[in-house]
Structure 1
Amino acid sequence: MSRKIDNLEDSIDESLFTFAEYDEAEAERIGYSNYSYWRSTFQVFKKNKTAMLFLTIMIILITFTVVQPYLPNQKSPTKIYIDPATNMQLRNHPPSREFWFGTNSIGQDLWSRIWSGTRTSLFIGLLVAIWDALIGITVGALWGYVRRLEALITEIYNVLDNIPTTIIQVLFAYILRPSIQTLVIAMCITGWLGTARFIRNQIVIIRDREYNLASRCLGTPTMRIITRNLLPYLVSVIMLRMSLAIPAAIGSEVFLTYIGLGLPVSIPSLGNLVNEGRLVMMVPSLRYQLIFPAIVLSLITISFYVIGNAFADAADPKTHV
Structure 2
Amino acid sequence: MTPHTDIRDVRLLYGCMGLGGGWDRQPWTAADVTHAEAAVQAALDAGFTAFDHADIYRHGKSESVFGEVLARASGLRDRIVLQTKCGIALPDGDRAGSYDLRGRTILRRVEQSLTRLRTDFIDVLLLHRPDPLARPQEIAEALRTLHEQGMVRQFGVSNMSAAQIALLRKSVDVPLVVDQLEMSLARRDWVESGVLLNTPAWAGGGFPHGTVEYCVAHDIQVQAWGPLAQGRFTGGADTPAARLIADLAARKGTTPETVLLWWLQRHPAGIAPVVGTTRPERILACRDAVHGTPALTHEEWYGLWTAARGAPLP
- TM-score bracket for the superposition, by shorter chain length: under 0.3
Larger Rg: 1
Relative to the length of structure 1, the TM-score reads: 0.22
**Larger helix percent:** 1
**Larger strand percent:** 2
Q: Which has the higher contact order (CA 8 A, sep 6+)?
A: 1
